[in-house]
Structure 1
């Protein structure tokens, strides 16, 4: 009896960050931070976590409040900048240039990959069209990509988001990975080449 209660309590605490994230995401999708949006977000989060049982992702247990604040402020600034850029593209008579860009990630972590994908998709002007989980590669559709320099700018932006998220929420290994600057694919190629 006590073990069952303890197990249920542990499951609740493990699911709590995901439920809070689902509520925030729900409110962002509706574009309003009201009590009604919060209450319906809690209902949707409860339904989603009960109906679509997923294996719990391992959280690093590490949150750096300063880096999290930097991430939130940078995200809000990028949100405004992206909205202004998209509005400018809509108002100019020239057709917008767009590209699908391959972005190999540096961190081998499902949760951080998801955070990077969501962040890139929420900022106007880019969205994730495909995620290769096995190789840790995101494919982004981005506007304002007239030259290869523009493509590299988008790729560097995704890497900056990955670094901000890893520094705010990632494990020590994730932080080390983004600081080294080597992609998962490059590390795997090195280990295969070194084993041969």
Structure 2
């Protein structure tokens, strides 16, 4: 047996560990977020859960983009915490406001990136924010279905869709590939152009 063979195997194993490390850390963070606890006990139980998911269940390896932007990751965490607090206050006010019942709706949102990991991150983020919950996903068509509280008209529906797209864009900026980042930017530019065209048409019809 060639002496380089064990060395190559060790190198491949080390490379695989480093590639999967961000996903491993994300599983621990997701566990702590789901329990709403940031303690050593939550960390240790999350570590055990991550080991079980990645080692006992023989799932295909998750292909990461290889790109991590720490600044956008920090922005994502900060805005997520703000959204959780705002969502909690909004839901509490809707419960205490006896003058009217908060509307609810099932909203379909088509994502702009074709990636299982980005889709999962976006769905989990939307579910963790009080007032919205993912009820189903359509992988083939890249559609997530949310049950949202506080929806009364079409404007609220579009606002919720825009919110999900914003979270998707934040996640892509933090951990998405460069191709996904270009797709998000192109879609944002197209939406901005479409909005501007609609405004111009509306203004022109009033003359």
Structure 2: unaligned runs, 5 residues or longer: 1-5, 189-207
Give structure 1 regions of 4+ aligned residues with deviation exceeding 6 angstroms.
none
For residues 47-102 of structure 1, the C-alpha deviation after alignment (integer angstroms, 9 at most, x for no partner) is 12112222122211111222222211111111111111111112122332111101
Match status 1:121 vs 2:127: yes
Match status 1:12 vs 2:7: no
**Offset of 1:109 from its aligned partner?**
1.3
**In 2, Cα distance between equivalents of 1:8 and 1:62:** 20
Equivalent residue in structure 2 for 1:41, among 31, 46, 65: 46
Match of 1:175 in 2: 181
**In 2, Cα distance between equivalents of 1:5 and 1:100:** 49
CA contact (8 A) 1:120 1:128 kept: yes
Root mean square deviation, CA, Å:
1.4
**In 2, Cα distance between equivalents of 1:132 and 1:148:** 23
CA contact (8 A) 1:64 1:168 kept: yes
Match status 1:100 vs 2:103: no
**Offset of 1:118 from its aligned partner?**
0.8
**In 1, Cα distance between equivalents of 2:74 and 2:17:** 26
Count of residue correspondences: 182
Match status 1:76 vs 2:81: yes
**TM (normalized to structure 1)?**
0.87
Greater shift after overlay, 27-36 or 98-107? 27-36
Give secondary structure in 1 for the equivalent of 2:146.
strand
Match of 2:67 in 1: 62
Match status 1:157 vs 2:163: yes
**Offset of 1:179 from its aligned partner?**
1.2
**TM (normalized to structure 2)?**
0.83
**In 2, Cα distance between equivalents of 1:10 and 1:104:** 34
